[in-house]
Copies of this chain bind each other. A is one copy, B any other.
Amino acid sequence: MADATSSTQDSAALLREILSTLKSLKQDHAQLASAVDAINGRVNVLASVKQAHDGTTHDASYPSPRIGAQSPRIPPRGHHSRESVSSLDGGDKDVDGQVQSTSPPPRRISTTSKIILTSYPGQAGVDPLQMEWGAKDPEKRGPVIVSRAPSTIRRRNAIGAHGGSYSIYYALGVASHQVQTDHKPDFTNTEPAAKIGPFPTWSDPKKIVAMDPFGHLAPWLFRGVMQNENVEIRPSIAITKAHMRLPELEESVRKGSLVPDGKICINESGELNVTKIAVEPVWYLPGVAERFGVDEPTLRRSLFEYTGGSYPELITRNDIKIFLPPIGGLTVYCFGDPAKMSDPDVKLALRVHDECNGSDVFGSDICTCRPYLIFGIEEAVKQAQNGGSGVVIYFRKEGRALGEVTKYLVYNARKRGSDKASEYFKRTENIAGVKDMRFQALMPDILHWLGVTKIDRMMSMSDMKHDAIVEQGIPIRERVPIPEEMIPEDSRVEIDAKIFAGYCKHRGNDLRAMMMLTCVIVTTGKILTMEELEKVHGRAWDDVDVSSKCKVSIRLQHELT
């Protein structure tokens, strides 16, 4: 009985302990459950998941947009319809995540308007079309897919958007119902108007890292992929032919320095026949990183952070190696037979020109940009007329890739300070933190793509351009400065500063490139001493217009009517 009692007491004690443990566990469980709720809330916020019919508001939630009317099939970003957040699980492989090599059945895209802020590798529904940068066989290389067309969005293998920064205008068009997102481009008759390549450089992943060597042929080379996989593929390069007419060349014909041949320079007005190639940037990130001497993560992080946090996929999608940055591209102007550009037996004259709208279009006299461009075009034409090839390449890098606002600030500081050649670069560095942001490291890609293996006459005095080309294994046989008589008076400051700073002479300490190649470098730009340089002044505003010598009052009158 005592046993029984003791046993009962033991039981009671056990029961109490169990109960207490149970209560404690219940409490733990409640806490855990609320922790899960909290995390779930955070995940929703992070992913900006918003149920279409969820009326609750949340700081970071997002109302359903009204894009539906004309484009009802707006897909959720990065993965197809899925109610549960678990689709974000990076480790959770989904049947839809498998590579489908045959035409998939049309997918019912949800009309709920979730926004996925960024995608992750392995995420359900994300199924990038395989590609191998630098592969020789286009089929093995595979197409660059960046389109967000409903059928394509899951198959993207590139970060960014078609058309670079013009995608902003596209977005405006979609928002305001002026563009249909399901439009299928009709590329009939848009094929390249000249044949370029293929060249061995096209399949060297180190030689071409900033453009897609198959970009001009993409819709045709990958027609099968487009049909079988129902994906959208667009060209990133287009080649056309045109006539062009420059008043300066008309003048040259008049003066007799340019003689019409009826084919390259076709008439007395100096009209030219030209093959034009527009190229949008397509970056292979590992290659771009290597070109700049940094590791890929550093490049990706910098591109993400120092553009103000754009394209988080640069960070989250390390499996995607291609990036279409929202910057301007380049245009090749080829005079004479395009096939001659890659012919090692004929001479090539080249001008690599960085955009300067104020001079190139409006003829500003503070720099030598348009004069140098015109000189480059004329020399290119003459080389083509003499049986060689003439090429001018125009890069969209306004104001040393600092933009026009910074350029004008520098102009003001120069004109208001002492506009001496000796202080030319300092002004830019004071404002922008850097003398020049054009970084020519990626520039030679286009030469590799064109099959250029040597340059006979380079119409440029820039060491940065020279070195970038030579380091890519393309020798430059002669460097040709702009003739004295073409230099606008006020731009002497610029050109003398450049010569002094070593923009225009080959730096002695850069022997590696010189020894690597048998290139003959001719520097004809006269190098001034520091003393002489001090004497080169630009036109101050006093000379421009007396009334404009107004260092405007920056205190605003508040008496607006």
Contacts and interface: CB of A to CB of B under 8 A. Distances in A.
Interface string A167-206: 1111111111111110101111111111100111011000
A314 to B, nearest CB: 10
A247 B241 contact: no
B552 A309 contact: no
Contacts of A62: 297, 301, 315, 318
Contact of A301 (B67, B146, B188, B326): B67
A166 B365 CA distance: 24
Contact of A405 (B168, B238, B433, B558): B238
Interface stretch (A5-13, A101-109, A523-531): A5-13
Contact of A175 (B5, B164, B302, B311): B302
A416 interface: yes
Given A297-B65, A416-B189, A548 B165 contact: no
A430 interface: yes
A437 B406 CA distance: 28
Nearest to A547: B337
Given A4-B5, A179-B434, A308-B160, A278 B405 contact: yes
24 contacts: A32-B33, A45-B90, A48-B312, A60-B315, A63-B297, A67-B298, A137-B558, A148-B308, A160-B308, A166-B403, A168-B326, A169-B402, A173-B434, A173-B439, A186-B431, A190-B409, A238-B408, A242-B358, A242-B365, A273-B545, A308-B311, A331-B358, A361-B394, A362-B394
Contacts of A5: 4
Given A39-B39, A66-B295, A412-B238, A120 B59 contact: yes
A316 B146 CA distance: 23
Given A60-B90, A190-B431, A412-B238, A550 B325 contact: no
B560 A236 contact: no
Contacts of A185: 430-433
Interface in A28-49: 28-29, 32-33, 35-36, 38-40, 42-43, 45-48
A246 B363 contact: yes
B303 A241 contact: no
A175 B89 contact: no
A502 interface: no
Interface in A401-457: 401-413, 415-417, 430-434, 437-439
A409 B21 contact: no
A515 interface: no
Given A273-B545, A278-B408, A363 B161 contact: no
A366 interface: yes
Nearest to A414: B189
A125 interface: no
A302 B358 CA distance: 33
Contacts of A217: 554, 556
Interface string A80-99: 00000000111100000000
A414 to B, nearest CB: 8
B413 A190 contact: yes
Contact of A29 (B32, B235, B561): B32
A535 interface: no
B168 A276 contact: no
A327 B191 contact: no
B244 A365 contact: yes
A146 B302 CA distance: 16
Nearest to A303: B171
Contacts of A167: 306-308
A507 interface: no
A437 B311 contact: no
A309 B307 contact: no
Interface in A542-556: 544-545, 547-548, 550-554, 556
A166 B361 contact: no
Contacts of A304: 115
Contact of A176 (B120, B276, B292): B292
A373 B358 contact: no
B293 A176 contact: yes
Contacts of A548: 193-194, 241, 275
A490 interface: yes
Contacts of A560: 136, 198-200, 202-203
Nearest to A279: B405
B541 A193 contact: yes
Interface in A265-310: 271, 273-280, 289, 292-295, 297-299, 301-310
